[in-house]
Amino acid sequence: MPLPSNRITQISESDLEGWEVYIEALRLQREGKDVIMTSIGEHDFDPPQETIDACKHALDSGHHNYTDIPGKPDLREAMARVSQKALKLDIKPSEVIAMPGGQSCLYAAMQATLDPGDHIIVIGPHYVTYPGTIRAAGATFTVVDAYSEDGFQPKAEAIEAAIQDNTRAILLNTPNNPTCAIYSRETLEAIAEVCVRHDLWIISDEVYWSLSNGKHISPMAIDGMRDRTLALLSMSKSHGLTGWRVGWIVSTEAMSYNFSQHNLVSNYGMCDFISKAAQQALDGDFGLNEIAETYRNRGTVFLEALGDTNDIRVLNEPGSMYFMLDIRAKTNNTQGFAFKLLQDELVAVMPGESFGPSAAGHIRISLGESEERLKEAASRLRRFASNYTE
């Protein structure tokens, strides 16, 4: 039998280590147990009705054909308009390329900046698909950890110390998943200096921009960074469309040409009726403010129910889709803590270690449950933590 390529088999090393708690929670759910699922970043609600209606209308009105490879012109216009709001920069439609979801954008960005043998710096803890997406480009990476004590803001000196001769890019994610850190202007300016000094790209994952209470700053908006940043945006979180697969990359016209070539050979353009509905959802801001408000309210309810406790330190304010909680007063073995919390209280959380060693001693709570259930999860967590001993 012929063998598959090394490129494909090397994608998934062991990046799903630490997901055992989630897998066990799914098993318990299948057994009929009522697990409060605060583990993954998925909405528990349907897309906005206007977006669903727009899609039905697009299906009934002939949107069934191949679309323009870089994205349909009206979709790119809508994406450029939303990018101006997200990035606080003037963005032209010709600087935007539509892709099927933020993950596709990540894949394309790695392909566009890294040749086999090149190297990229990733900030830890990080989103789970990053390593595989880099390996798929034949590149290597170094994780530079950010720490709870610094509010999980990455340090430019540590990034600079990790640069090698073959380093081509730094991958940033703000607002961050899993830590919920929103990178400050100071952090971004310091990283920008390093980038310019070493002539590097920034691949900037900004898919959570709308869940930042207006505090998001794009690395692209920092002096000197406009042309060396690839900003990745997506409708999954902001517009409640995880399963629709709509994202885009903002870059320069020259890089957009390259991304268009990438689309030509990878997806041959977006789905027609999804493009039409997505354009209308972007133009009408369908769900944008409501979803942000839903998560803000859920966060407030969760925090109120958690109350003051010395066992759990809350690292971020309500506003994001997650909370990062420091439980080092209780344990550093968060995997063990999370397993027992699931067994005893039927609350599923992500142990910090799942995202990298610098998140050990932390748990990430997703707000993908109703206010009522989050209130219940908070009181179970509080009770469990106060009685927890190893």
Residues at the interface with ligand PLP (CB under 6 A): 41, 101-103, 127, 173, 177, 205, 207, 234, 236, 242, 247
Min. distance of Cβ 174 from ligand PLP in angstroms? 10
Min. distance of Cβ 208 from ligand PLP in angstroms? 7
CA distance 209 to 86: 6
Cβ-based nearer residue to ligand PLP, 163 or 269: 269
Chain residue at closest Cβ approach to ligand PLP = 102
Cβ contact 233:207 at 8 Å: yes
Min. distance of Cβ 278 from ligand PLP in angstroms? 12
Cβ contact 352:330 at 8 Å: no
Which spans in the chain are helix H? 6-9, 20-30, 49-60, 73-87, 102-113, 130-135, 156-161, 185-197, 235-238, 253-266, 272-283, 288-306, 334-345, 371-387
Cβ-based nearer residue to ligand PLP, 191 or 306: 191
Indicate the DSSP class of residue 125: S
Min. distance of Cβ 194 from ligand PLP in angstroms? 22
Cβ-based nearer residue to ligand PLP, 16 or 329: 16
Min. distance of Cβ 368 from ligand PLP in angstroms? 11
CA distance 5 to 116: 14
Cβ-based nearer residue to ligand PLP, 102 or 330: 102
Residue positions counted in the chain: 390
Cβ-based nearer residue to ligand PLP, 212 or 331: 212
Q: How many CB atoms sit inside 10 A of residue 307's CB?
A: 10
What are the CA-CA distances from residue 358 to residues 3, 4, 13, 285 (Å)? 37, 35, 20, 37
Cβ-based nearer residue to ligand PLP, 331 or 358: 358
Min. distance of Cβ 207 from ligand PLP in angstroms? 5
